[in-house]
Amino acid sequence: MTKRRSRWPQNLAVLAVTSLLCFGVAELALRLVAPVQTFVNPLRSFHRHDPDLGWTGTPNLKARFRHVDFDVLVRSDVNGFRERQTTNAPGPGSPLCLVLGDSYTWGWGVENGEVFTDVMQNELGSLADVRNCGVNAYGTLQELLLLQRCLTNVLRPRLVIVMFCFNDFYDNINPAAVRPSLAVDGARVTLRNHPVAERIEGWSGNLVKQSHLLSAIDYMFAFAKENRRTTELQRQTFPNHTVAAGPRTAMAYTLAGFKQTCAHAGAGLWFVRVPAFSEVPPGADSETSDTLKTLCDQAGVQLLELAPEFRAAGDRPLDFYFPHDAHWTAKGHQLVGRMLAGRIRQELAPAGR
């Protein structure tokens, strides 16, 4: 018995060494398969802390983004936004068009050059200078704060396009410590968690970011945790297939902020509703469509609907959405980019002439 007990430190040491060797082999194999840093967790890997916005893109980053449906190379520009890659560049003095949004705008799952803002630029050429300011997981409030920062940095857009997703209703009121949000008390709306405190990563957090294997494991745990939080937020936001009073009030607040900010800058403003995959089939219903239209009408904001464009394009929605993911394929980005470019051409061409 004593002899068996005396062996446990030796067994523990063997287990530790074996685990480290297995980790090293797995890490080396992943690096050989993908020499460029590969991430499965885009928010914590492609972005960095920002006290005003919660997070922003990491400047001049080049890394692969891998998922069951795709494996793409992502490049960011000096400002941390998705780097533009087009064959038809804007000319000097082309009217500036800023496009704000979340992962759809950032280009989740598609290569640089396939994002709908790149499609817009190729379609419009010198008629407009299309800038992609999409950031993963942003809500409408964060997009408003980002627009105000862009204007402070002497950008003077002719047109501001805000891509709206149904999750914006609850992202704006999400009390998570990593983002600014809105607290709603009846008709009273206040900004909370602003500035956002930085989470100290420490050596372990930096190790996760540098490791191919650990970043994949970290994503699995983070995804499960966020999924539980999101499920609860959805339950509170969409009771009985309606939008609750608090999220409605918060959205009205951000719409008024966008309207006032753009009017002060002399810029046009469009909100574009991004349809979920389930909303594309003919006759599909949405608890957010009518609510957003009512709020936009009240705020005097022009709203564009994309669902009819997807329905008119064919009877195969999966051509435009990844089969295991909620985001657009390159074909979906093509459809959206050409539709928006056509609307911009109508808007700006008379002024150009």
Domain ranges of the chain: 1-33, 49-199+241-352
Q: What is the mean pLDDT of residues 223-240?
A: 81
Task: Output the CA angle 174-176-178, nearest 5 degrees.
Answer: 120
Distance CA 179, CA 173 (A): 10
Residue 57 one-letter amino acid = G
Instruction: Say whether domain 49-199+241-352 belongs to CATH 3.90.1300.10.
Output: no
Nearest to 86 by CA among 52, 125, 60, 55: 125
User: Average pLDDT of the chain?
Assistant: 86
Q: Greatest CA separation found in the chain?
A: 94
- Higher pLDDT among residues 342 and 352, named by residue: 342
CB 288 within 8 Å of CB 273: yes
At residue 18, the pLDDT reads: 74
- Span 58-69, pLDDT tens digits: 999 998 888 888
Per-residue pLDDT of 261-270, as tens digits, reads 999 999 999 9
Q: What letter represents residue 112's amino acid?
A: N
Q: DSSP character for 174?
A: -
Q: What is the mean pLDDT of residues 303-321?
A: 85
* pLDDT level of residue 206 (50, 70, 90 thresholds): low
Residue 133 CA to residue 99 CA, distance in Å, equals: 6
Q: What is the pLDDT confidence band of residue 197, given thresholds at 50, 70 and 90?
A: very high
Helix (H, G, I), strand (E, B) or coil at 300: coil
Residue 35: what pLDDT? 45
The string of DSSP letters for 24-92 reads HHHHHHHHHH-SS-EES-HHHHSEEEETTTEEEEPTT-EEEEEETTEEEEEEB-TTSSBPP--SSPPPT
pLDDT computed for residue 352 by the predictor: 47
> What does the alpha-carbon distance between residue 179 and residue 177 come to, in Å, rounded to a whole number?
6
Tell the residue number behind the tokens 């968690």, with chain if given. 193
Q: Is residue 276 pLDDT above 70, yes or no? A: yes
pLDDT at 249: 98
> Mind listing the pLDDT tens digit for each residue in 66-119?
888 898 999 999 999 999 999 999 989 999 999 999 999 999 999 999 999 999
pLDDT band at 188 (very low <50, low <70, confident <90, very high): very high
Residue 330 has pLDDT above 70, yes or no: yes
Alpha-helical runs (H) found in the chain: 2-6, 8-33, 42-45, 103-106, 116-124, 140-152, 168-171, 202-210, 212-237, 245-265, 289-299, 307-312, 330-352
Among candidate residues 290, 242, 298, 293, the one with its CA nearest the CA of residue 271: 293
Q: Is the pLDDT of residue 34 over 60?
A: no
Residue 74 main-chain phi, psi, to 5 deg: -110, 130
